[in-house]
Amino acid sequence: MIELLIAVVIVGIIAAIAYPSYSNHSITAHRTVAISDIARLQLELETSYDGGYDWSGLVSGGHCTICDSDSDRFSFNIVSSATLAYRIEATAKSDLGQDNDSCFTGQDKKITLTSTNIESPSDCWN
């Protein structure tokens, strides 16, 4: 009986140490996939440029049609403004805890890349 108790304690200690590490690595890996997808979207936008950018077939309702990212972890958007041709955004979702990524600062849980290659937040891109 004591052997079983010792085994349970050891498994509990290992689980207490391993799960947070696993969770952190999983969040980081999914962020890397999202950054790769942002680069893929930018490449598609730039190669199909014909006097303007058309992203209607790339992103629809937060879903990226050419991306590998898990839709439960990130939603994608491309926005334009008077001063910027486009900004690609990957917004972390809370469903699987992606919004707990340590690279985010403040309330904004977005990874962005602009048409002028400005990346933010910088901690997510490192």
- Please give the Cα distance from 124 to 102 (Å, whole number): 8
Virtual torsion, Cα 54, 81, 64, 116, nearest 10 deg: 90
Q: How confident is the model over 1-23, as pLDDT tens digits? A: 889 999 999 999 988 888 888 88
Q: How confident is the model over 18-62, as pLDDT tens digits? A: 888 888 999 999 999 999 999 999 999 999 888 888 888 999 999
Consecutive H or E run containing 110: strand 110-114
Q: What is the mean pLDDT of residues 58-81?
A: 94
Residue ranges and CATH numbers for the domains of the chain are 2-125 (3.30.700)
